[in-house]
């Protein structure tokens, strides 16, 4: 592992911690539940992308592999969002 890679992983780890703390504060937010849920789903996609690129070491890898791995969390988030919309999630 080079110093550049170690520094990149350190920065990515700090960003991931910030995203987790943002998600925790979003849950504590007393706003509309649908906005909070969609914010957390968006944060999950950002975390997945960072993990795929940096911790799986695919930032310099094949673009097809990166896209293929990112499709999985994207499909899960879209399914979760569709289920919330279909079930009529309360806005309280």
Chain segment 5-61, per-residue pLDDT in tens: 788 889 999 999 999 999 888 888 766 777 888 889 999 999 999 999 888 888 888
Q: By CB neighbour count within 10 A (0-12 exposed, 13-18 middle, 19+ buried), where does 83 fall?
A: exposed
pLDDT confidence bin for 89, thresholds 50/70/90: low
Count of domains forming the chain: 1
Is the predicted pLDDT of residue 92 greater than 60, yes or no? no
Could you give phi then psi for residue 32, rounded to 5 degrees? -70, 135
Inside any domain, residue 21: yes
Inside any domain, residue 29: yes
Inside any domain, residue 92: no
How many residues make up the chain in this entry?
Answer: 92
Inside any domain, residue 28: yes
Inside any domain, residue 78: yes
For residue 64, the enclosing domain spans 3-86
Looking from the CA of 36 toward its CB, the CA atoms found within 13 Å total 16
Inside any domain, residue 91: no
């Amino acid at each position: 592992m080079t110093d550049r890679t170690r520094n990149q992983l350190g920065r990515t780890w700090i960003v991931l911690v910030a995203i987790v703390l943002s998600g925790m504060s979003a849950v504590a937010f007393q706003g509309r539940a649908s906005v909070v849920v969609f914010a957390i789903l968006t944060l999950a996609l950002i975390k997945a992308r960072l993990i795929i690129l940096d911790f799986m070491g695919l930032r310099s890898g094949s673009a097809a592999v990166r896209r293929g791995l990112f499709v999985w969390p994207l499909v899960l988030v879209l399914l979760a969002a569709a289920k919330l919309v279909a079930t009529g999630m309360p806005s309280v």
